[in-house]
């Protein structure tokens, strides 16, 4: 994800938003980011394959025999915690998006005002030049 950098005008909206997050919010964002990655999916898949393999081929002790009820319980517990953590992170993402949209809107309004001022200044300069040209032409005709 691209993050805005500091400018000569101070911290960006993103910096301000990041600084306002609590430790729990930052942790939830980190966990949601990790759980939504290929690294997590691959690691979890390898653990499941290892778990099932050890329980299927175990010679003496099957701690979780087929149909792997303990593994199902672990997945249910993981899902029970993962869902609210991911939802918290998504809510904050929506909040970040609103802050960014507001910051973009404010920047656009300021830019519009500056452009309008520049257009008025250019129009004044153009009128002054035209007035000088007309004055020169009037002097030559007289």
Return the domain boundaries, the chain: 24-141
The pLDDT value recorded for residue 21 is: 83
Q: For residue range 65-118, list pLDDT tens digits in order.
A: 888 999 999 999 999 999 999 999 999 899 889 989 999 999 999 999 999 999
The Cα 76–Cα 59 span in angstroms is 28
Answer yes or no: is pLDDT of 1 > 50.
no
**Model-level pTM?**
0.61
Answer yes or no: is pLDDT of 120 > 90.
yes
For residue 78, give the 3-state DSSP assignment: helix
The Cα 37–Cα 91 span in angstroms is 19
The Cα 72–Cα 89 span in angstroms is 25
Q: For residue range 16-72, list pLDDT tens digits in order.
A: 767 778 888 888 889 888 998 999 999 999 999 999 999 888 767 888 888 899 999
The pLDDT value recorded for residue 18 is: 74
The pLDDT value recorded for residue 87 is: 93
The pLDDT value recorded for residue 76 is: 96
Using alpha carbons, list the distances in angstroms from residue 58 to 17, 44, 45, 54.
52, 21, 19, 5
């Amino acid at each position: 994800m691209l993050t805005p950098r500091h400018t000569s005008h101070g911290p960006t909206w993103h910096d301000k938003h990041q600084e306002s997050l609590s430790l729990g919010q930052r942790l939830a964002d980190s966990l949601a980011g990790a759980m939504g990655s290929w690294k997590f999916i691959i690691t979890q898949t390898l653990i499941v394959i290892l778990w099932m393999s050890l329980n299927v081929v175990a010679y003496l002790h099957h701690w979780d025999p087929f149909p792997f009820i303990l593994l199902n319980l672990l997945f249910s517990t993981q899902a029970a915690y993962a869902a609210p953590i991911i939802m918290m992170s998504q809510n904050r993402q929506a909040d970040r998006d609103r802050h960014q949209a507001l910051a973009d809107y404010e920047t656009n309004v300021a830019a519009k005002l500056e452009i309008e001022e520049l257009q008025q200044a250019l129009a004044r300069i153009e009128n002054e030049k035209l007035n000088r040209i007309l004055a020169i032409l009037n002097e030559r005709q007289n």
